[in-house]
């Protein structure tokens, strides 16, 4: 089980939101680069970065900070990046900068042809984010709920050639109420590509529950508020996940 610390960027700061609400942002660090170094020092094997401003505006906002993070952590720790990735030129620029995986959410849902083009041009580097409430996908920084079913879209995007699906239960995100195991497993069983779990992960018990369904296709998890508020210790969590897999 790959545990991935999240660094959410808003106005150049490292923050966490509750249920995607930009007005509820809690600033956890004024120095996201130092935060990235901290997670790598604790053994992180990948980092998840989100340009929250970009997710809302549809264009990159925190690019200078993102470049500094990539330079700081080096090539040995892959960075996956989401938020406002809505044109191929921007994706190409970020991959050239050293981003290993681009996470496409809103643009994939609103413009499936764009996602197909991205998979064709950048195969091996594309993750789709499906953010859902009650089984229906949300877009535009979670501000708009669509009528699209999560599993239906996941199967469609799998056919396009995406490398993984990042599934977030937005009703739980940032709330520390526990990961939605049932919905995550249901999705993982419906596709053959890896699923990354996100939203609500609180403590080591959630990590153990995720590890128990790893063979179903849930191969990783994004860790956010739990790390920043101290309800989960990253080093301990990754060690426990590794031990359960051994």
Q: Which residues are catalytic?
A: 8, 131
Size of the chain in residues: 246
Q: What is the largest CA-CA distance in the chain?
A: 44
Cβ-proximal residues to 160 (8 Å cutoff; 6+ apart), any chain: 112, 115, 116, 119
Rounded Cα distance, 190 and 155, in Å: 7
Cβ-proximal residues to 41 (8 Å cutoff; 6+ apart), any chain: none
Rounded Cα distance, 96 and 63, in Å: 13
Are the C-beta atoms of 48 and 4 separated by less than 8 Å?
A: yes
Report the C-alpha dihedral over residues 77, 79, 80, 84, rounded to 10 degrees: 180
């Amino acid at each position: 089980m790959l545990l991935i610390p999240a660094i959410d960027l808003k106005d150049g700061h490292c923050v966490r939101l509750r249920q995607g609400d930009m007005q509820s942002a809690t600033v956890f660090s004024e120095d996201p680069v130092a935060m990235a170094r901290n997670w790598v020092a604790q053994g992180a094997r990948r980092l998840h970065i989100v340009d929250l401003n970009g997710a809302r505006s549809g264009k990159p906002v925190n690019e200078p900070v993102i470049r500094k993070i990539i330079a700081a952590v080096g090539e040995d720790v892959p960075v996956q990046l989401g938020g406002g990735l809505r044109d191929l030129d921007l994706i190409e620029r970020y991959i050239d900068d050293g981003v290993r995986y681009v996470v496409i959410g809103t643009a994939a849902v609103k413009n499936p042809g764009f996602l197909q083009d991205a998979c064709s041009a950048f195969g091996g580097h594309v993750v789709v984010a499906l953010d859902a409430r009650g089984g229906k996908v949300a877009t535009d920084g979670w501000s708009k709920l669509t009528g699209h079913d999560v599993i239906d879209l996941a199967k469609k995007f799998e056919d396009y050639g995406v490398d993984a699906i990042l599934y977030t239960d937005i009703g739980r995100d940032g709330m520390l109420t526990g990961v939605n195991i049932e919905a995550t497993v249901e999705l993982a069983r419906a596709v053959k590509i890896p699923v990354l779990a996100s939203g609500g992960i609180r403590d080591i018990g959630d990590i153990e529950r995720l590890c128990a369904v790893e063979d179903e296709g849930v191969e990783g998890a994004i860790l956010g508020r739990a790390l920043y508020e101290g309800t989960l210790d990253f080093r301990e969590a990754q060690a426990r996940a590794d031990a359960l897999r051994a």
